[in-house]
Amino acid sequence: MENEKLTSPGYEIPGELKNVVEITTLDRIYNWGRRSSVWPLMFGLACCAIEMIAAQAARYDMARFGMEVMRPTPRQADMMLVSGTVTKKMVPLIVRLYNQMPEPKYVVAMGACASGGGPFKEGYNVVAGIDKFLPVDVYIPGCPPTPQALIAGMIKLQEKIDKQSLSKVRWYDKKKEDSVYVPVPVLGPDLMDPRRFAEIKAAAAAKEG
């Protein structure tokens, strides 16, 4: 694959200097290092997790892509792989884990349930897609997706990383506030966004009045 090489496309190196000299850019070095060492957060929610586990076994060997180091803590992970049905009870925990992950970080929705609710869409206890709460970078269709589909989704994530630039990425801006912090939803009669508490209270007061 062209993107597996450190040399930037468009720069030709003589044959006698290959594997000795590389001509590249700072963005290419930065992205090449990150794309080749994605560390997923190790947790599963439903049947998609079985396919995720299978993709890590010897038959498919995701280690070829530098993605085999699944970390048990969000402090050491840079990619959240949401594999399975997202219930309303689980959303606050998932959002809290996401907020604990350091930048740069990515979210991959694996399967129909994580992408849009799947067969449980509009159910009383299931969220119609994790993208209602977290910014999703890659969607992997299927119910459940095969290990091959998961690997294809991971390659799409690598392609997205390849296109990023140090001058434009959000984690190097000089803003003091966290641009990707997501307020943890509160589970009551339904999921409530803390940013809408004032709106909810006003609507309740108007209904009572």
In one-letter notation, the amino acid at residue 188 is: G
Q: Quick check: is 30 in a domain? A: no
pLDDT at residue 177, as a whole number = 67
Q: Quickly tell me which residue has 């995701």 as its tokens.
A: 62
pLDDT at residue 2, as a whole number = 56
Q: Select from 54, 117, 109 the least CA-distant residue to 85.
A: 117
Average pLDDT, the chain: 86
Which residues lie below 8 Å from residue 195, measured CB to CB, with a gap of 6+? 183
Average pLDDT over residues 73-92: 92
Q: Which residues pair with 91 in a beta bridge?
A: none
pLDDT at residue 1, as a whole number = 47
> In this predicted model, what pLDDT tens digit does every residue of 23-74 receive, in sequence order?
778 888 888 888 888 999 988 899 999 999 999 888 888 888 888 888 889 9
Separation CA 151–CA 23 (nearest Å): 29
Residue 87 DSSP one-character state: B
DSSP-derived 3-state class of residue 52: helix
The parent domain of residue 131 ranges over 37-208
Q: Quickly tell me which residue has 């290092």 as its tokens.
A: 33
Tokens matching residue 85: 């049905």
Q: Quick check: is 112 in a domain? A: yes
Strand-pair category, 191-192 with 186-187 = antiparallel
Residue 17 has pLDDT above 90, yes or no: no
Residue 113 has pLDDT above 90, yes or no: yes
Q: How far apart are the first and last CA of the chain?
A: 65
In one-letter notation, the amino acid at residue 146 is: T
Average pLDDT over residues 5-21: 71
Q: Quick check: is 4 in a domain? A: no
| Whether the Cβ atoms of residue 92 and residue 184 lie closer than 8 Å to each other | yes
Half-sphere exposure of 36 (CA within 13 A, CB side): 11
Q: Quick check: is 88 in a domain? A: yes
Q: Quick check: is 28 in a domain? A: no
Lowest-confidence range among 33-47, 60-74, 129-143, 161-175? 161-175
Peptide bond into 104 cis (omega under 30): yes
Domain count of the fold of the chain: 1
Residue with the larger pLDDT of the pair 197 and 98 = 98
Residue 119 DSSP one-character state: G
pLDDT at residue 11, as a whole number = 67
- Burial of residue 158, with CB atoms counted within 10 A of its CB: 0-12 exposed, 13-18 middle, 19 or more buried: buried
Q: Quick check: is 29 in a domain? A: no
Q: Quick check: is 11 in a domain? A: no
Tell me the percentage of the chain whose pLDDT exceeds 70. 92
Q: Quick check: is 162 in a domain? A: yes
CATH number for the domain harbouring residue 130: 3.40.50.12280
pLDDT at residue 68, as a whole number = 80
